[in-house]
A = this chain, B = another copy of it.
């Protein structure tokens, strides 16, 4: 078990990050996720990650659920259990049904296969794929 710091025991900078996240999600800061409790000992890294997450999920051209699926795809490729669990939960909350989850998995697994085939056969990039 790594060192987790509860909200009430955090230093002011860490508390401020947690309060910002809690306000945005409309939850009690005491119920903040473990990733923030673990990061609280390194407030600078914590502030930067919170800012990067906020900016990545700010409303834009891509749908919020699509962003969760992109995040989840990276997490599966990187084999991060915490991120698969947390962003899987987020994706479900943002509307991912079992059918969509299955389609998503089919694409992830096809990509995994395509990646390994391209490497194993050392396939050179087609000129047609290059940007003009």
A110-132 vs B, Cβ < 8 Å mask (1 yes, 0 no): 11111111111111111011111
**List of B residues within 8 angstroms of A130 by Cβ:** 1-2, 85
Is the CB–CB distance between B86 and A129 below 8 Å?
yes
Is the CB–CB distance between B116 and A109 below 8 Å?
yes
- With A82-B125, A89-B129, A131-B3 as given contacts, are A75 and B115 in contact (CB-CB < 8 Å)? yes
Between A and B, 27 residue pairs with Cβ closer than 8 Å are A1-B124, A2-B121, A35-B118, A38-B122, A38-B123, A39-B117, A42-B101, A44-B106, A45-B106, A60-B99, A62-B107, A63-B66, A70-B70, A70-B111, A73-B73, A74-B111, A75-B115, A76-B120, A79-B79, A79-B119, A81-B125, A84-B120, A85-B129, A85-B130, A86-B129, A92-B131, A108-B120
Give A contacts to B, CB under 8 Å. 1-4, 33-35, 38-39, 41-42, 44-45, 48-49, 52-53, 55-57, 60-63, 66-67, 69-71, 73-89, 92, 97-126, 128-132
